[in-house]
Structure 1
């Protein structure tokens, strides 16, 4: 016996519990709690450009969720196979049932509910698009076609209204919207200093966390309590530490929802390290942390330079390494994050750690920087 998927269409805003602009991390976290409705979830992306590739979550058999490549925000929702009854899907709009196991969605019903629109193979309205093809894209508004009033709708697509008015790229980034409020929009790193966080909405004041100055209490007041406090430091790294560092067994504040960790001194309770995560598909820590849109800021060329150079999370390791040090990359250490997980198997489980003055990069086999640590 299958549960009926009952969802309401909100043109330009979302479908049921899925809000346009929501992060990939939040959506997958929500799906973990909805396994009775979505027992099978496929994640699709381009492995050759996994740092910036758009990601599709296929919730069999009815839903495809498209996420933008850089900020990993829900861009487009596609409802398809409306007549598939395993499980059945009911699609509503306001007080009307558009489609169900007993109600076939046809062209005439769309026109009656949503009103007139431009002629074409598909019916397009701001924030919603009704297609009569199972797959592919019709000719849209390019011409006038013979229209069959009884023509059955096969797919429904929901996107922000900017896409449908020609103001946005269908595979581009998502315009700022209320679901983003409180999330980090960008994190600007400065070596030997700390990180400046910018938040949504864009009118929010930035916040600066400084290594050696910011306290655990400062973090809790500004970011709220961490999702987890981790007291056990990895003992395998103490062999590389000084005697003073070994005696100070600190703890981590884990902000998975911001893609950040703070390592805090157990003696002074002051931040000693800041770790930011790239959330690259296929990497060992994918979906443990939300993507943090970090940028490493260099020194300005002169006193009048108000746009200092920066390197971003999607730049290749070689580019960032040369930015940090023009010499050859330093020797690296191998890290296999699956060693502690007996049942976890990944095609690219091994990463490399490269240490520079005040900063450490964790790098994949494909030269993508998976995380950055300031100390």
Structure 2
């Protein structure tokens, strides 16, 4: 009988990737005319965008995160039943790839290493300890009291849920006086789980809170964005070094052409402005009209929007997104690691004070306005979506001199607008 599920086939690259899922980069194919993009850095946003276009291959996608501290804690994506992807909390980069349920055939999964089939639930090829030893050679003892085989960039576990904190199935034991029989049993032990992670010299797995070590495939990705009120934003690209100058995008100076030359063409150009906020403007809205409509340059892959004047074609506003799980804007934009920079204490101060995207709203608000918190306005992003309900659909807008913060009830800042 023909299996109704399409077979998943992956090449394993220790320390680097499982098929298209790479620690450091991922290929993404977008439904834009003649556009095939390879976005630098395997961000949470990029991989979810890729999965959205591969629903026939990955119909069951679960996202798990800590709702109380989703800005800084790791995020886990389950592609049931075979793959789990762990992302670092701060930078939302792919940190660890886990493959499990190797013999589950719904759908079948085939794993290859250098053209050698390691495991195939379709052809009933079972990966055992002896096969790992033959393919990858000798390795040091795990040293953690487990039977795992640990090689640089890849681990093999013989337990159902090794390290998961739940009930585990231990390796079958035989009588001590049958040592030879135990060795035979060990050789035939079935691999239950495979983990792919960055190579570390000490053989230890990296803490996902520490993020992913910078590697070549991340070069060109925005690593940090410094916000300066009334000025603009400075973008620092990977690799971070003292010789690489940041890209300075200035309000009312940088043009749309400048953005295209420096950042590439936007993924979308949006010509409709949300005019609901104009009622709060101190200027006469009729006097501010242009012969040509203002428009947005949307760089979803960078977590940035630029609102551009229709007459001068210079940047009027910059919107920076935090991509916080559980928020109304989650997965619309990649996380931009922003910092708001204050004034230095003196002319010789090379380290002016800054507040980062993971700081609580109260801390950032006091930084921007030490005397008092400005009044807020309530924004419900589901008002235009009939029938759509979100657990945290409502945010609050706090306006300061030259900057607006959009804040969740949990005091996390989901976006910053410079004007």
Is the 8 Å Cα contact of residues 304 and 321 (structure 2) preserved in structure 1?
Answer: yes
- Is 1:52 matched up with 2:72? yes
RMSD: 1.6
The corresponding residue for 1:142 is none
Deviation at 1:246, TM superposition (A): 4.0
The corresponding residue for 2:16 is 13
- Is 1:111 matched up with 2:151? no
- Is 1:230 matched up with 2:270? yes
Structure 2: how far apart are the matches of 1:110 and 1:164? 21
Aligned length: 369
Is the 8 Å Cα contact of residues 132 and 152 (structure 1) preserved in structure 2?
Answer: yes
Q: Secondary structure at the match of 2:235?
A: strand
Structure 2 CA distance for partners of 1:164 and 1:156, relative to 1, 3 Å = farther
Is the 8 Å Cα contact of residues 381 and 393 (structure 2) preserved in structure 1?
Answer: yes
Is the 8 Å Cα contact of residues 87 and 208 (structure 2) preserved in structure 1?
Answer: no
TM-score (norm. length: structure 2): 0.85
Deviates more, 1:244-253 or 1:18-27: 244-253
Deviation at 1:16, TM superposition (A): 0.4
- Is 1:314 matched up with 2:358? yes
Structure 2: how far apart are the matches of 1:210 and 1:286? 27
Structure 1: how far apart are the matches of 2:361 and 2:208? 29
The corresponding residue for 1:158 is 196
Unaligned runs of at least 5 residues, structure 2: 25-41, 165-172, 174-181
Structure 2: how far apart are the matches of 1:47 and 1:179? 31
Is the 8 Å Cα contact of residues 84 and 99 (structure 2) preserved in structure 1?
Answer: yes
Aligned positions of 1:138-287 closer than 5 A: 148-162=186-200, 165-166=203-204, 168-203=206-241, 204-241=244-281, 242-243=283-284, 246-248=288-290, 249-287=293-331
- Is 1:95 matched up with 2:137? no
Q: Secondary structure at the match of 2:262?
A: helix
Structure 2: how far apart are the matches of 1:54 and 1:170? 6
Structure 1: how far apart are the matches of 2:162 and 2:189? 17
Deviates more, 1:324-333 or 1:156-165: 156-165
Is the 8 Å Cα contact of residues 238 and 246 (structure 1) preserved in structure 2?
Answer: no
The structure having more radius of gyration, on CA atoms, is: 2
Is the 8 Å Cα contact of residues 73 and 209 (structure 2) preserved in structure 1?
Answer: no
Deviation at 1:32, TM superposition (A): 1.1
What CA deviation, in whole Å up to 9, does each residue of 1:78-109 have, x standing for no partner?
00000111011101000210000221000000
TM-score (norm. length: structure 1): 0.95
Is the 8 Å Cα contact of residues 74 and 208 (structure 2) preserved in structure 1?
Answer: no
Structure 2: how far apart are the matches of 1:181 and 1:287? 22
Structure 2: how far apart are the matches of 1:177 and 1:313? 24
Deviation at 1:243, TM superposition (A): 1.7
Is the 8 Å Cα contact of residues 163 and 169 (structure 1) preserved in structure 2?
Answer: no
